[in-house]
Amino acid sequence: MTYHDSTGHLLLTPADRDAPARVARLRALGLGERTDPELDAFARRVAETTGTPYAGVNLPGAERQFFAGLHHSPGAPASGYPARVLARDHGWCPHVLVRRRALVLEDVRDFARFAGNAVVDEDGARSYLGAPITDRQGVVLGTVCAVDRVPRRWGNEGLVTIKELAAELVERIHRREDTGLR
């Protein structure tokens, strides 16, 4: 699917054909479009682990993104970003969902496909690190991500870190499901 943002940039946000299954699975898990203090704490841990000012646990619906877990470091510029709710074509998590694999962008401006995104132009995001949260049924529930306002050399270490954090979160979600906690 193709979108244009308010500045006329062409954004190539992939179609999310798995959205109905994800929304149903999130609902069954008692997750989705509500904030969750445990997920906020997890997002804070992601930010601390990656050394970034922003981190989130994104559990998108069919039409928009929702950060059920969100962290904005004290002292980080407050420009309206990050926000609990983002349009589907903002940021890079929708690409992680569809790709079903981690995405490492050391400097988003190096990639024409990602450089014209509203979170770059309006909010100053410059680097992104995200991994899918895939449950035991194979449903991609969302993403774990870290964002910085400066280019970052994530390297293989960053990739391994974000994938480990996503796996840890999946284990927590499975424990909640197994114990009936919502």
| Structural contact between residues 143 and 130, judged by C-beta atoms closer than 8 angstroms | yes
Q: Is the pLDDT of residue 13 over 80?
A: no
Predicted local confidence at residue 175, as pLDDT: 92
| Domain ranges within the chain, ordered by starting residue | 3-179
Q: What is the pLDDT of residues 119-169, one digit of tens each?
A: 666 667 889 999 999 999 999 999 999 999 899 999 999 999 999 999 999
How far CA 6 is from CA of 10, 27, 175, in Å, comes to 10, 33, 42
| CB contact set of 180 (below 8 Å; sequence gap of 6+) | none
Q: Which CATH architecture does the domain made up of 3-179 adopt?
A: 2-Layer Sandwich (3.30)
Predicted local confidence at residue 132, as pLDDT: 98
Q: Dihedral through CA 16, CA 24, CA 32, CA 44, nearest 10? A: -70
Q: Which residue has the tokens 């449950």?
A: 135
pTM: 0.86
Give the CA angle between residues 62, 82, 163 to the nearest 5°: 70
Q: Is the pLDDT of residue 71 over 90?
A: yes
Q: With bands split at pLDDT 50, 70 and 90, how would you rate the model's confidence at 20?
A: very high
